[in-house]
């Protein structure tokens, strides 16, 4: 990566309210004795911060409410060095909120009130069209309206920049969306949702990837947690193992991966270098609580990778 790396993220911004408990509750069960903390989240803002901490120039387009939470989102982005020109305050919705429960092994349950994120319609996003021309990599997720995702990917394709779609949260997608995607990054659940293949390891991940490639995606990266990631481009399938860590909270790990992947590929980076970088960033994020609070700096990721090579 060079200093010229430029990443545009179009997506969601939330405030996260998390309770850390001994174990995840069953249906109808109350777990007491937890620890509460507030942090910044939303897949879009998360991936923007993750990319910025790895040294890229980052712009973000998203919607927040005209409320204290929206002010906090803007303040956090500015603190990270991300311009807020693309952060759109809306009058008729509150800033998005995520309610998260996480256990001692890092597993989580998440419920989201989307709020202002659903106000990011194509017309609003199109006002920041100049940022698409500025970017080297465009990164989207699915916590904003699908028509906006389709507009963004189309705009990126028209300008010849690399488009990455993280298809999260898991949902079905229209056929027209797939040919607009240079790189699709589902996890196992999302890959199964999109293809019907039960993904529990590299081999079924490859089967799911082939189905997605057949729908028009240029490349597929299936993230498999502790089993690493599988990269497929129609001619080869490459497995990249995960970096072993003691996980305390997996919240945001996928966002750390996608943000790092975008950074690694910006300015012409190679897949063989970008994927280990993304794996390392995701692994380090699992060792810390929260989403954005867990994302590592570039120097931390590089030092981590050097230690594991020796």
pLDDT in tens, 154-179: 999 999 999 999 999 999 999 999 99
The SS3 call for residue 157 is helix
**Could you give the residue ranges of the DSSP H alpha helices within 159-270?**
188-195, 202-214, 253-265
pLDDT of the residue at 2? 44
Q: Residue 88 domain-assigned?
A: yes
**Domains in the chain, number:** 1
Mean pLDDT of 80-109: 93
**What is the distance of C-alpha 54 from the center of its chain?**
14
Residue 139 within a domain: yes
Assigned domain for 211 exists: yes
Domain-embedded: residue 21: no
Query: What local confidence, expressed as pLDDT, does residue 249 receive?
Result: 81
Whether 267 maps to a domain, the answer reads yes
**pLDDT band at 4; cut points 50, 70, 90:** low
pTM equals 0.93
99: β partners: 17, 111
- How many residues are given for the chain? 310
Q: State residue 3's pLDDT score.
A: 56
> Is position 28 within any domain?
no
Structure confidence by residue, pLDDT tens digits, 207-247: 999 999 999 999 999 999 999 999 999 899 999 999 989 98
d(CA 162, CA 182): 6
Mean pLDDT, the chain, rounded, equals 94
Share of the chain above pLDDT 90, in %: 85
269 falls in which pLDDT band (50, 70, 90)? confident
Q: Which is the catalytic residue, given 16, 103, 249, 255?
A: 255
Decide if 67 is catalytic.
no
Distances (CA, A) of 67 to 70, 87, 94, 240, 276: 5, 13, 7, 43, 39
With cut-offs at 50, 70 and 90, classify the pLDDT of residue 268: confident
Q: What is the domain extent for residue 250?
A: 6-13+41-96+114-309
Q: Which of 111-120, 166-175, 267-276 has the lowest mean pLDDT?
A: 267-276
Which pLDDT does position 1 carry in this prediction?
Answer: 42
In a domain, 23, yes or no: no
Q: Is position 281 within any domain?
A: yes
Q: What is the CATH number of the domain that holds 228?
A: 3.40.1190.20
pLDDT more than 70, % of the chain: 98
DSSP structure class, residue 171: -
């Amino acid at each position: 990566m060079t200093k010229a790396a430029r990443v545009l993220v179009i997506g969601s911004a939330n405030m996260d309210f998390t309770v850390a408990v001994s174990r995840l509750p069953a249906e109808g069960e109350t777990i007491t004795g937890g620890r509460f903390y507030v942090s910044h989240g939303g897949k879009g803002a998360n991936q923007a911060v993750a990319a910025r901490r790895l040294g890229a120039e980052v712009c973000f387009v998203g919607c927040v409410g005209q409320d204290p939470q929206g002010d906090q989102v803007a303040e956090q982005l500015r603190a990270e060095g991300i311009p807020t020109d693309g952060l759109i305050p809306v009058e008729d919705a509150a800033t998005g909120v995520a309610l998260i429960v996480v256990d001692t092994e890092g597993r989580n349950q998440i419920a989201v009130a989307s709020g202002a994120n659903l106000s990011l319609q194509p017309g609003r996003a199109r006002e920041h069209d100049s940022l698409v021309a500025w970017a080297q990599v465009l990164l989207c997720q699915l916590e904003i309206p699908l028509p906006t995702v389709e507009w963004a990917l189309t705009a990126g394709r028209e300008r010849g920049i690399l488009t990455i779609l993280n298809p999260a949260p898991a949902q079905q997608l229209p056929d027209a969306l797939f040919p607009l995607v240079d790189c699709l990054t589902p996890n196992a659940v999302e890959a199964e949702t999109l293809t019907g293949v039960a993904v529990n390891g590299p081999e079924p991940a490859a089967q799911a990837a082939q189905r997605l490639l057949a729908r028009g995606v240029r490349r597929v990266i299936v993230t498999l947690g502790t089993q690493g990631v599988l990269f497929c481009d129609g001619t080869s399938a490459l497995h990249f193992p995960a970096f072993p860590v003691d996980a305390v909270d997996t919240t945001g790990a996928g966002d750390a991966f996608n943000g790092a992947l975008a950074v690694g590929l910006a300015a012409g980076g190679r897949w063989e270098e970008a994927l280990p970088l993304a794996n390392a960033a995701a692994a380090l994020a699992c060792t810390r609580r929260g989403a954005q609070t867990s994302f590592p700096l570039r120097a931390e990721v590089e030092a981590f990778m050097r230690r594991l090579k020796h």
